[in-house]
Chains A and B, each alone.
Chain A
Amino acid sequence: MNNKNKKYLLQSALILSIVSLFIFFATNAQINMSNRGLQFGFGFLNREASFDIQFTLIEYSRSSTYLRAYLVGLLNTILVAFFGIIFATILGVIVGIARLSKNYLINNLASAYVEFFRNLPLLLQLFFWYYAALRVLPLPQDAGEFFFSSYLTIKALYLPALRWENFYVFLTLFIISIFLIIVTKFYTKKIQEKDGTQFPIFLISVAILLILPSLSLIFGFSSFSIEKPELLKLSETTYTFEGGLEIPPEFIALLFALSLYTATFIAECVRAGIEAIGKGQKEAAASLGLNPNLVLKLIVMPQALRVIIPPTTNQYLNLTKNSSLASAIAYPDLALVFAGTALMQTGKAIEIVSMVMFTYLLLSILTSVLMNWYNKKQQITEK
């Protein structure tokens, strides 16, 4: 037998054993289910869910279907993962750069933060934020206004909400201004490449973004009013706030824990990326007469990003998956609403768990695809 055939034989044997293992589990499940008179199927998704969920991004009531409950959970997971990724990235980049600072205090504070938060189990941190830190917040009636009609209470963070009229006009102008910024960037770059003229591209972008959408407000095509949260008496001793935007403490605790934990790992990725750039690169750039900011922006960062992005992608995926710890603190994410409540109310364990697994898989793959695309863009294009 030659080497090639041997390889094929080996691989087909491997595939065969994997397939038979899968068939084994599937048949086993099927036999056991039919022994107990259980039916496999997704018909339950159209049934009325008949339970309530405290925090929903889309309309949901107890008469909505299980499919709707699934979507509510999914959106809540995406919401916390999205904001978690943004906060973790911002904090991670700042701390990562701070760890390289020559300032003793900044450097050591950043190190202490990283070593503390990355070495404690995430679940423990989550419990700390929810059951300890957020528990000392005042009751609604005792809470003071802390920032423009905002109230931080044990029941929720209440913020004033914007109530829009003809929001779409504002939104359209906003999208147009982003488009304009991209176009401007493209042309200024071309001009710079041609004759070296530099433009304050950041200031121009900010100006476009501020001026254009606000035109719709100035000329009255769209408008908004501010709805402030008002204290509402429920009984002799219990109060709540009504109106405005309400952010439950479960969400805040989860967001805090996820961001602070993941940021430590991102900070290390950023530090590794920057340290990977040879000293010679910086010195060469400096000898060309670039100031330290430009050295970081034009020479170090573009090269460092190549090192930073792949491990940071891992951290984004971890954050998304870790968000399923929400079920420990009553934040209604996919794991709690669907793999929790819905599973228990229907008993469709195999169907629901596989659905939830595939959903997390899909979320992770989508994140990877996006990050890989960005990674490719950052790679050095060799000529």
Chain B
Amino acid sequence: MIKSIKTWILVGFASLLLVACGQGGGGGSKKSKTLDDTKKAGFVKCGVSQGLAGFSNADESGNWSGIDVDVCRAVAAAVLEDAEKVKYFPLSAKERFEALKAKQVDVLARNTTWTLTRDAELGLTFVGVNFYDGQGFMVPKASGMKSTDDFRAGMSVCTNIGTTTELNLADFMARKGLEYKLVGFEKADEARDTYGAGRCDAYTTDKSGLAAQRTVLPNPDAHIVLPETISKEPLGPVVRQGDPIWEDIVRWSLNVMIEAEEYGINSGNADSLKSSDNPAHKKILGVEDDMGIKLGLDNDWGYRIITQVGNYGEVYKKHLQDSGILPGNRGANELWTNGGIIYVPPLR
């Protein structure tokens, strides 16, 4: 009889779970469950790439850096008052959305392209753009290929699967009427190494990615990036749908970095500008008005982000220009006031 009692207890337990799950799921409408959970855990759960120099990359001792990493650090500075309170989860292109949906991560800052399908169908929300990218091709310099017009039918192209890259490539080759072989990998370094070994005649991904991967190839100067850009790739952080307060926090943590650059606030002068007469400075640094309170944070959130992480321009310069990945001018990623398209809604 003991056995059957055990079994009944099990059944009872199962039905309890059933009832419990009926009540669970989804956050309340007034409070942010993600924000509460993050505060309780004491760190921001941040989904990053498995290694893309300049965007999210870990050094030998496991310290992450890059412009995507700095989005998570900004959120941590805003929410937990310390930019270092971030736990990083390296995700493949395949895992990233599932990891976000399954609450393994709360911010996905992983060079992810904003598209309608992803926004509408995956139960996710893109909160902004932290890098305007476009897809390009890298080929061996000695091949003499100067543009995609030199592509011939029968060529092999290495790339990553499960990305917009793969779809753009298919569209592009169909438009050109070229038969080609797609060699698709889950990890970027596998695709790059396979191209480097000569298995593929070209390697395609976002141009920033090409620039980063080129520096890692055995002989970077033996490869060139072709001039054409075959797609629009606005890359930005993503959050789960259904927690609008958390969504706003991540969105404005990114926006305040850009706004700070526009108004000339950086990590060096933030302290002195606290006493500035400019209302824009006061709002960003939390001296005037209640911007932080409106987001469900405290008013020092912007000040902390700028002093601990830096403004957008500083972050861009540190990770992309000074590191030699994209040493030239910022192009589209220059502020709108300087001829680029980086433009955020006003912080007021």
Question: Hey, which bits of chain A sit against chain B, CB under 8 A?
Answer: 1, 6, 9-10, 13-14, 16-17, 20-21, 23-24, 27-28, 31-33, 35-38, 50-54, 62, 131, 135, 139, 154-155, 232-238, 240, 242, 248-250, 327-328, 330, 332, 336, 340-341, 343-347, 349
Contact = CB atoms under 8 A, between A and B. Distances in A.
Given A52-B170, A54-B183, A31 B25 contact: yes
Given A13-B4, A24-B18, A238 B242 contact: no
B328 interface: no
A236 B22 contact: no
Interface of B: 1, 3-4, 7-8, 10-11, 14-15, 17-18, 21-22, 24-26, 93-94, 97-98, 101, 117-118, 121-123, 139-140, 142-145, 150, 152, 154-156, 161-163, 166-167, 169-171, 173-174, 180-186, 190, 193-194, 197-199, 201, 240-242
B22 A238 contact: no
Given A21-B14, A50-B167, A344-B97, A332 B162 contact: no
Contacts of B123: 33, 36-38, 347
B184 A341 contact: yes
21 contacts: A13-B10, A14-B7, A20-B11, A32-B25, A32-B26, A35-B242, A36-B101, A51-B166, A62-B171, A155-B199, A235-B139, A236-B143, A236-B145, A237-B142, A340-B94, A340-B186, A341-B161, A345-B117, A347-B121, A347-B122, A347-B123
Contacts, number: 162
Main secondary structure of the interface of A (DSSP, over half): helix
Contacts of B121: 38, 346-347
Contact of B118 (A9, A20, A347): A347
Contacts of A54: 156, 181-184
Contacts of A131: 193
Nearest to A233: B152
A53 B181 CA distance: 8
B199 A240 contact: no
A24 B17 CA distance: 7
B167 A51 contact: yes
A234 B154 contact: yes
Of residues A14, A32, A53, which shows the largest number of chain B Cβ atoms within 10 Å of its Cβ? Answer: A32
Contacts of A135: 197, 199
Given A9-B4, A21-B14, A31-B22, 5 more contacts: A13-B8, A38-B123, A238-B140, A250-B183, A349-B101
A238 B22 CA distance: 60
A238 B155 contact: yes
A190 B276 CA distance: 108
B242 A36 contact: yes
A345 B167 contact: yes
B21 A28 contact: yes
A51 B174 CA distance: 10
Contacts of A328: 186
A334 to B, nearest CB: 14
Contacts of A21: 14
B184 A336 contact: yes
A236 B118 CA distance: 40
B4 A52 contact: no
Nearest to A38: B123
B11 A13 contact: yes
**Which 9 A-B residue pairs are closest in the complex by CB-CB distance?**
A344-B162, A36-B123, A236-B144, A235-B143, A13-B7, A35-B26, A347-B122, A20-B14, A62-B170
